[in-house]
Chain A
Amino acid sequence: MSAPIQLQPGETFILNVGPQHPATHGVLRVKMEMDGEYIVKAETVLGYVHRMHEKMGENRTYAQYLPNLSRLDYLGALGYTHGHVLVIERAAGIEVPERAEYIRAITVELNRLASHLFWFGCYVMDLGGFSPLMYALEDREYILDMLEAVTGARLTYCYYRFGGLYNDVDDDFIEAAKRFIPRMRKSLKKYAALVTGNIIFQKRLEGIGPISAEMCRKYGATGAVARGSGINFDVRKNEPYSVYPEFDFDIPVYHECDSMARFKVRMDEMEQSLRIIEQGLAKLPGGPIMAEKKPKNIKLPVGDFYQAVETARGSFGIRIVSDGDKNAYRLKLRSPTYSNMHLFDEACEGMMIMDALAFMGSLDLVIPEIDR
């Protein structure tokens, strides 16, 4: 056995967090230069699950590309496929029946809830509390069962089609969703008492990982990260799309700029998603779920088309540069966690390692979505 390495005072060492590390929840590596327990400098190393989704967008038709979108963020996949169908519908001028848009909104919000629940459970587990994960996964299971019944998948959904949906929802789904809302509200109260109100938990997160509003702007951080820094930004409100203007819901904003603020934003968002689902179910119109006038093989006009949607993690953008062919000339995916993660390097300087991991969890990372 070799003798332990003695560091001189002020001497730093390199610590590799990842690429296989439980706190990163995926294959992410952060190279940290440490002075004892403190981070002097951090450098995020990406690309371990890079699959070149953008190149795949160029060599398959728009419809063939649909399943790719749900493989970016496997926790909130519906939001991403929603963005893709919306940009194609915008470019090709396809009118979507109202019923289809309502069902899209309901299912996207259910998916957002499932994503937030999973993040909530894992985040608290990262911080040392094991049992909330079990409660959260139980609630999430109800959502996955509901979505599985209508979409045919539990995670990698391919449910939306250009001009509508693949499958109409049945009475069972509507009944299950109606039963789920009061159940989830009860759970949210439980989480508030069990976790949010817990003094140890609060002390662990308050003041950790401060991100100023200006930093969000310079890095393009969106979603709960921006809303935890006092920025009232949600694509559903700022640039309304689909049938979101029809719903009455609030955007939770906290001004503390710390990990606790981001935590509270997501917890409050779950209630807002429930409100949207509730109103959607009440207002759900009848009628077709697929546009009547829709070309069989979609070709977009020549030009440049963009669509932003609010996913569980922030503002997701998709740009299609079309040369009039049946597949995209260039397809760009703007992923929200990419920008949210980017500020980690700067923000964690001077932080203690365990605080940095608590901060990283509050960013709600999904690595395949960063790497694409």
Chain B
Amino acid sequence: MILNTTREALQSLFAESAPAVEVEAGAPRGNGVITCDYNAHGYHLDAKVEADQLLAAVEIIDQAGFFIESITGVDWIKEKQLEVIYDFARFDFDACRVVIRTRVPRDQPVVPTITSIYAGANWHERETHDFFGIKFAGHPHLIPLLLPEDADFHPLLKDFKA
């Protein structure tokens, strides 16, 4: 099963083996891979990594033959953090949806680009930069995609005022 092999591969990123059980909803969680209840959440694996582990994690996903679904952000203004969420799924019948997430400080939101691994990340990262101001270090063309070309605002930040 691809689910088990992917989980093991992702777990190798972390020093001590992370708990493979679902944590209580809303509870703060550390880095690690958790197996989710597909019926409740709609995805199978949820890996939280540090920003500098991101490329290694995405490399594992790419090697395992996943396709990129989307990249998005979430503004956790109370924790003063921005989260970047990467979604991956599979073309075969071994259904496995993987979510990779990383958090960066809100005042210095920088994560490495994954365009070198998935060319299709290009627009997704530009869009996330538009909406949240998250900088994707190494991105070849990080200019506004959906917002006007002179946009200097990030509308999905919780403190954005129109």
Contacts and interface: CB of A to CB of B under 8 A. Distances in A.
B155 A52 contact: yes
Nearest to B148: A47
A219 B120 contact: yes
A342 B91 contact: no
Interface in B105-141: 118-120, 122-123, 131
25 contacts: A50-B147, A90-B40, A90-B42, A217-B67, A218-B118, A219-B119, A219-B120, A220-B67, A220-B69, A226-B91, A231-B91, A237-B93, A238-B91, A303-B26, A306-B41, A315-B69, A317-B87, A319-B85, A321-B74, A330-B72, A334-B87, A338-B123, A339-B68, A342-B123, A371-B146
Contacts of A319: 70, 72, 85, 87
A329 interface: yes
B69 A219 contact: no
A305 B70 CA distance: 14
A332 interface: yes
A91 B42 CA distance: 9
Contact of A332 (B25, B65, B72, B145): B72
Interface in B36-50: 39-43, 46
Given A54-B131, A218-B68, A219-B68, A306 B42 contact: yes
Main secondary structure of the interface of B (DSSP, over half): loop
Contacts of B131: 54
Interface residues of B, number: 40
B68 A329 contact: no
Interface in A237-261: 237-239
A304 B74 CA distance: 11
A308 B38 CA distance: 12
Contact of A47 (B65, B66, B69, B147): B147
Interface residues of A, number: 48
A55 interface: yes
A263 to B, nearest CB: 21
Contact of B120 (A238, A305, A329, A342): A342
Interface string A284-310: 000000000000000001111111100
B36 to A, nearest CB: 9
A303 B70 CA distance: 18
A307 B69 contact: no
Contacts of B87: 306, 317, 319, 334
A164 B16 CA distance: 46
A304 B41 contact: yes
A219 to B, nearest CB: 3
